[in-house]
Amino acid sequence: MIAAIAFYCFSAVAVGSAIMVISARNPVHSVLFLILTFFNAAGLFILIGAEFIAMILIVVYVGAVAVLFLFVVMMLDIGFAQMREGFLQYLPVGGLIGIILAVELILVGGSWSLSSKIQQIRSSPTPSLEKMTNTHAIGNVLYTEYIYLFQGAGLTLLVAMVGAIVLTLRTRRGVKKQKIAKQIARRPEDSVKLHNVQTGSGV
C-alpha cells in the first residue's frame, strides 16, 4: 500500500515537473524543474529495487549535468526574447515532426509486451547471485565481461574532452601569465638592487 502511494506521488510530481521544464518561461526555472524531475525519477527507481540507477541519477545528472546547465544559463546573457521571435515560423514543421514521433511511439507501445519470464525475475534484482546487491552485480559484469568496452568508452570520452578543450582554447597576445619555472629560477641579485643612500641626500 505504501509502495503504491509512493509510486503515484513520485509519478505525478515527475510528470508535472517534466511538463514545467518545457513550459516555463524562465530558463532557470526550467533547470530547477529538471532537477526535481531527476529526483522523482530516482525515487521511482528505488521503488523497483534499482538503487544503482537512482544513485547515478542523483550523483551524475543532478550533481553535474543539471547544475552545469543551471550555471551556464545564469552566467550567459542570452537573449531569450529574440530566440522566441521565430517560434511561429517553425511551428508547422515542428508540429509535423511531433505528430510523426507520437505515431511511432503509439505503434511501438501497442506492439510491446512483457516476456513470460518477467514474473520469475522481478522478485530478485540479481536472480543468479542472490547475495549480491545490484551495484555489486553490475560492477561484477561490467569489469569482467565488458571491461574492454568500458575502458574504450572511457578513453573515447577522455579524447573528446581533450579535443573540446583544445578547440575552445584561445591565446591572446599581451596577456601576462605566471611562469612558475622562471619564478623559482630567479636569484636575489637579479631581482634586488641595493643602494647605499647617504643621510639627507635622498634616493
The set of cell numbers assigned to 189 is 641579485
User: What does the pLDDT look like over 15-73, one tens digit per residue?
Assistant: 999 999 888 877 778 888 888 999 999 999 988 888 888 888 888 888 887 777 777 77
- For residue 17, give the 3-state DSSP assignment: helix
**pTM, to two decimals:** 0.55
Using an 8 Å Cβ cutoff, are 54 and 62 in contact?
no
Q: What is the pLDDT along the chain (203 residues), one digit of tens a residue?
A: 788 888 889 999 999 999 998 888 777 788 888 889 999 999 999 888 888 888 888 888 888 877 777 777 777 666 656 656 666 777 788 889 989 999 988 888 777 776 666 666 555 554 455 567 778 888 888 888 889 999 999 999 999 999 888 887 777 777 777 888 888 888 877 778 777 877 877 65
Residue 102 dihedral angles phi and psi, to the nearest 5°: -65, -40
3-state secondary structure 153-195: HHHHHHHHHHHHHHHHCCCCCCCCCCCHHHHHCCCHHHHCCCC
